[in-house]
Amino acid sequence: MKDTAHDLSANAKTAVVEGLHNALADVTVATKKAQFYHWNVTGMAFGSLHALFEEIYTDHFAAQDEMAERIRALGDFTEGSFAQALERSDIEEAKNVIPAEKMVEDMAEAQEMISGSLKTLAETATKQGDDLTEDLAIGRAQAHEKFAWMLRAHLG
């Protein structure tokens, strides 16, 4: 069982790092989106959504660091610009204030997309024998699925 960055082949590292970059980009875009929604949400559910969006971006900020550090442990450098994250991610940035219900729908969709990219990463890591990245990806996928559920619960 290969469970350290040192034990992985160059090809395995390349495959895993590519998946990590993709997942990191998704989380980066979603972090900023959650912060934007946190700042701009209005309506009857303001309090609960304001707090939930803050919980999401706080969680995501820490997740970005965890993924970036894994990329570094595998010997690559992280991409640092928001433009690079937007290029890699299928999640679109929030540019306009929208009604609270649309914010919730959009953020739930983003969480589901992140969970999907993390599941793909977990599969890649498994195939490449990288147990540590597999574990990271599975744990993060679970967190994003939970956020998606919490957001969808607001929609009834």
The whole-angstrom separation of Cα 40 and Cα 45 is 12
Task: Tell me the whole-structure pTM to 2 decimals.
Answer: 0.93
Write out 104-155 in H/E/C secondary structure: HHHHHHHHHHHHHHHHHHHHHHHHHCCHHHHHHHHHHHHHHHHHHHHHHHHC
Q: Which CATH number fits domain 5-154: 1.10.260.40, 3.60.9.10, 1.20.1260.10, 1.10.760.10?
A: 1.20.1260.10
Q: Are 130 and 8 in contact (CB under 8 A)?
A: yes
Q: pLDDT truncated to tens, each residue of the chain (156 aa)?
A: 444 666 788 999 999 999 999 999 999 999 999 999 999 999 999 999 999 999 999 999 999 999 999 999 999 999 989 999 999 999 999 999 999 999 999 999 999 999 999 999 999 999 999 999 999 999 999 999 999 999 999 998
Give residue 70's region: left, alpha or beta (phi > 0; psi -120 to 50). Answer: alpha
